[in-house]
C-alpha cells in the first residue's frame, strides 16, 4: 500500500535556509553577545545567501479587515517569514506567544524564533490565518 505524503511545511525551503544561516552565525560567534550583534551577523549571512532581508520592519495588524495597529519585527525575510531573535539565557513562553500573535494579526503565517542562548535553539511558529494576502493590502507598512 502506498504511503501517504505528509503535508509540506509552509515556507519549508525558506525556513530551512534561514535556520542554516542561524546555525552558521551561532557556530562562528557562540553565546554571549548582544542581540543586535547576532541580528547584524544573521542579516549579513542571509544576504550572502541571496535572500532579501528587512530589519526592524513594521507590520500591520488587522481586525476584521481593518488595520488596528502595527508591530515591529526584528526581521522579515523575503517578505514572507518573520524572524525574532533572542539573546537571553532562557526563553519564556511569552516570546513564542508574542510571535504567534504577530502572525495571527497580520497577513503573514510563518515565523522563526531564534534563540542565541547558551545552547542554540529555534522554534518554528505557524499561524495559518484567513487574512487575505491581497497585494493591495500589504502586511508590511514601513521599513527602517
pLDDT confidence tier of residue 10, bands split at 50, 70 and 90:
confident
pLDDT tens digits for 92-128?
A: 999 999 999 889 888 899 999 999 999 999 999 998 7
Task: Give the model's pLDDT for residue 3.
Answer: 57
d(CA 56, CA 71): 10
Question: What residue ranges define each of the domains in the chain, with the CATH number in brackets?
Answer: 12-132 (3.40.1350)
Q: Which three cell numbers stand for residue 91?
A: 526563553
pTM for this prediction: 0.83
Task: Give the model's pLDDT for residue 6.
Answer: 65
Q: Is residue 138 pLDDT above 50, yes or no? A: no
Q: Is residue 87 pLDDT above 50, yes or no? A: yes
Cα torsion 47, 58, 96, 110: sign:
negative
Instruction: Give me the residues paired with residue 77 across strands.
Output: 53, 81
Task: Give the model's pLDDT for residue 131.
Answer: 57
Amino acid at each position: 500500500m502506498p504511503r501517504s505524503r505528509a503535508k509540506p511545511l509552509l515556507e519549508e525551503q525558506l525556513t530551512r535556509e534561514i535556520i542554516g544561516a542561524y546555525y552558521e552565525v551561532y557556530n562562528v560567534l557562540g553565546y554571549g553577545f548582544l542581540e543586535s550583534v547576532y541580528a547584524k551577523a544573521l542579516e549579513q549571512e542571509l544576504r550572502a545567501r541571496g535572500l532579501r532581508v528587512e530589519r526592524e520592519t513594521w507590520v500591520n495588524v488587522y481586525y476584521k479587515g481593518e488595520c488596528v495597529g502595527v508591530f515591529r519585527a526584528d526581521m522579515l525575510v523575503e517578505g514572507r517569514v518573520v524572524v525574532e531573535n533572542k539573546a537571553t539565557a532562557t526563553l519564556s513562553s511569552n516570546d513564542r506567544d508574542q510571535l504567534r500573535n504577530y502572525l495571527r494579526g497580520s497577513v503573514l503565517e510563518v515565523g522563526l524564533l531564534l534563540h542565541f542562548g547558551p545552547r542554540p535553539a529555534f522554534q518554528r511558529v505557524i499561524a495559518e490565518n484567513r487574512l487575505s494576502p491581497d497585494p493591495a493590502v500589504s502586511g508590511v507598512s514601513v521599513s527602517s
